[in-house]
């Protein structure tokens, strides 16, 4: 190597050493980890407490009576107890029958022991001291002991339905209004069958007679020819009609002038009759207390059939469940009101509760045959049993059990061979 080259290396050596000191290694780039967004559910603040409910105001007391107000079962006792008998009728429940010694054997409501008057409507004026009650409240029915009275709590001038004549025919007819309900065990039950009115007819010249004597009022066979010329007015009662404020049992009679009765033959209601005054006072909550009545109560107006809607005719417990909720506080049932028929008839028999006229027991299918069947069908046939036709809500319709025919055995019955005895030696 030349001397000049060596000198160049010697000269560059310090410079190269200095440069080595100045060189720095750069670290490798490592990207930061990815950012992950984390959502934290923040609980909602608690809702403020609800304000206390306003105090419930007591229901306003009724301003009028419902016809099925339970006080009807108690408020008439002072007036009627000494003049007849309360009993439990097999069909109409709790009823009152007047004493035959007072009314006679031929008693008919709104024909015996009183007379008609007319103001805005026909008003019956009774000759009996107790007449202010059963001729202006409730319904009369032909029951086990003859004409008997179902208590009711709404006043009317008379509880009758009318029959008007054809033009030029000089008769007027009327009948006690059919009931829409009856009482059983202290509760009301809706009538679910049709009660036919029993009309009587009187000539228009005798309509306002002071008493109906002799043959003035014609009924039955004597009235067949007359009834063909008469037209009953529509009136409620029976068939499950409404009760309480929706009753329809009272209908206004024909105006006297409309049936040919002159004004000078019309008798106006007496102004100072004590019985009429008491009857009207008894019908208003504002004055009922002055004559021995109790204030009205709220009544459940749900239609209640006598254990028919429930599809059960055999349990006394279900009888009470299907009767109304309007019971008289503190009152014990009268006589044998716990069930249908006598108190000994437990469990309840619907047939005993609704006997047919002139028979001891009623076949319910005869009274209410199934669709397409004839009345009078034997109830013992399970195919037409009332519970099968009208099952309770939620129950399975009862079907008759299928019959199986067993073929007769062929040939004589098999016989076993005689058992051999012990062998002789």
DSSP class per residue in 230-256: EEEPP---STT---GGG-----PPPPG
Between the alpha carbon of residue 25 and those of residues 19, 21, 22, 30, the distances in Å are 13, 11, 10, 15
350: helix, strand or coil: helix
What is the C-alpha to C-alpha distance for residues 94 and 144, in angstroms, rounded to an integer?
12
Tell me if 374 is assigned to some domain: no
Reply yes or no on whether the pLDDT at 212 is more than 60: yes
Can you give the pLDDT at residue 313? Answer: 36
Tell me if 408 is assigned to some domain: no
411 vs 266, higher pLDDT: 266
* 3-class secondary structure per residue, 285-311: CCCHHHHCCCCCCCCCCCCCECCCCCC
Q: Hey, what are 315's tokens? A: 């349990």
What is the C-alpha to C-alpha distance for residues 85 and 282, in angstroms, rounded to an integer?
22
Q: What is the mean pLDDT of the segment spanning 34-62?
A: 68
- CA 226 and chain centroid, separation: 37
- φ/ψ of 16, rounded to 5, equals -65, -40
Tell me if 216 is assigned to some domain: yes
Reply yes or no on whether the pLDDT at 247 is more than 50: no
Can you give the pLDDT at residue 248? Answer: 47
Helices within 88-170 (DSSP H only): 100-103
Find the Cα–Cα–Cα–Cα dihedral 331, 335, 338, 339, rounded to 10°: -150
Can you give the pLDDT at residue 282? Answer: 96
Q: Hey, what are 383's tokens? A: 């195919």
Tell me if 213 is assigned to some domain: yes
pLDDT in tens, 291-303: 999 999 877 656 5
244 vs 104, higher pLDDT: 104
Q: Hey, what are 238's tokens? A: 């029976």
Tell me if 339 is assigned to some domain: no
Can you give the pLDDT at residue 59? Answer: 55
Number of domains in the chain: 1
Q: What is the mean pLDDT of the segment spanning 253-266?
A: 94
Reply yes or no on whether the pLDDT at 267 is more than 50: yes
Can you give the pLDDT at residue 337? Answer: 37
pLDDT in tens, 152-196: 999 999 999 999 999 889 999 999 999 999 999 999 999 999 999
Q: What is the mean pLDDT of the segment spanning 1-14?
A: 55
Tell me if 392 is assigned to some domain: no
Report strand pairing: 230-232 vs 160-165: antiparallel
Average confidence score pLDDT of the chain: 72
Can you give the pLDDT at residue 300? Answer: 67
50 — pLDDT class (breaks 50, 70, 90): confident
| Sign of torsion over alpha carbons 324, 330, 332, 334 | negative
Most confident of 274-288, 308-322, 343-357, 374-388: 274-288
Q: Hey, what are 139's tokens? A: 């319904």
Of the candidates 294, 275, 345, the residue with the CA atom closest to the CA atom of residue 115: 275
327 — pLDDT class (breaks 50, 70, 90): very low
Using CB atoms within 10 Å of the CB of residue 355, give its burial: 0 to 12 exposed, 13 to 18 middle, 19+ buried. middle
Q: What is the mean pLDDT of the segment spanning 239-252?
A: 48
What is the C-alpha to C-alpha distance for residues 272 and 275, in angstroms, rounded to an integer?
9
Tell me if 296 is assigned to some domain: no
Q: What is the mean pLDDT of the segment spanning 348-364?
A: 37
Is the bond preceding 61 in cis, omega lying within 30 degrees of 0? no
Contacts of 374 (CB under 8 A, 6+ apart): none
Can you give the pLDDT at residue 291? Answer: 92
Can you give the pLDDT at residue 361? Answer: 35
Can you give the pLDDT at residue 113? Answer: 96
Structure pTM? 0.60
| Sign of torsion over alpha carbons 337, 340, 343, 348 | negative
Farthest CA pair distance, the chain? 181
For the chain, percent of residues with pLDDT exceeding 90: 48
Tell me if 9 is assigned to some domain: no
Can you give the pLDDT at residue 48? Answer: 80
Can you give the pLDDT at residue 297? Answer: 87
Can you give the pLDDT at residue 18? Answer: 53
Range of the domain at 147: 70-178+195-234+247-291
């Amino acid at each position: 190597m030349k001397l000049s080259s060596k000198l160049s290396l010697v000269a560059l050596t310090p410079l190269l050493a200095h440069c080595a000191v100045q060189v720095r290694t750069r670290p490798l780039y490592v990207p930061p980890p990815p950012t992950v967004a984390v959502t934290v559910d923040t609980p909602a603040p608690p809702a403020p407490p609800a304000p206390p409910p306003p105090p419930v105001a007591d229901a306003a007391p009724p301003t009028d009576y419902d016809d099925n107000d339970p006080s009807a079962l108690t408020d008439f006792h002072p007036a009627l107890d000494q003049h007849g008998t309360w009993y439990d009728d097999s069909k109409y429940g709790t009823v009152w029958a007047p004493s035959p010694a007072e009314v006679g054997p031929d008693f008919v409501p709104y024909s015996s022991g009183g007379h008609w008057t007319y103001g805005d409507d026909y008003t019956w004026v009774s000759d009996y001291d107790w007449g202010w009650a059963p001729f202006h409240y409730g319904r009369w029915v032909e029951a086990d002991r003859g004409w008997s009275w179902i208590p009711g709590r709404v006043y009317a001038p008379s509880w009758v339905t009318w029959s008007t004549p054809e033009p030029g025919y000089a008769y007027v007819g009327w009948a006690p209004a059919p009931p829409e309900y009856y009482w059983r065990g202290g509760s009301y039950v809706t009538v679910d069958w049709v009660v036919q009115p029993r009309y009587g007819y009187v000539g228009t010249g005798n309509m306002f007679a002071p008493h109906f004597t002799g043959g003035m009022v014609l009924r039955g066979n004597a009235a067949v020819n007359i009834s063909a010329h008469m037209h009953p007015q529509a009136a409620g009662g029976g068939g499950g009609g409404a009760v309480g404020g929706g009753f329809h049992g009272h209908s206004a009679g024909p105006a006297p002038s409309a049936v040919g009765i002159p004004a000078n033959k019309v008798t106006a209601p007496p102004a100072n009759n004590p019985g009429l005054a008491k009857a009207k006072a008894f019908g208003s909550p504002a004055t009922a207390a002055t004559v021995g009545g109790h204030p009205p109560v709220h009544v459940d107006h749900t239609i209640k059939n006598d254990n028919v809607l429930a599809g059960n005719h055999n349990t006394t417990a279900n009888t009470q469940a299907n009767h109304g909720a309007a019971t008289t506080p503190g009152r014990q049932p009268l006589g044998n009101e716990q069930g249908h028929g006598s108190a000994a008839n437990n469990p309840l028999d619907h047939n005993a509760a609704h006997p047919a006229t002139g028979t001891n027991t009623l076949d319910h299918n005869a009274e209410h045959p199934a669709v397409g069947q004839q009345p009078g069908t034997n109830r013992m046939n399970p195919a037409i049993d009332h519970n099968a036709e009208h099952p309770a809500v939620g129950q399975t319709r009862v079907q008759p059990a299928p019959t199986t025919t067993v073929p007769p055995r062929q040939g004589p019955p098999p016989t076993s061979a005689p058992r051999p005895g012990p062998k002789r030696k």
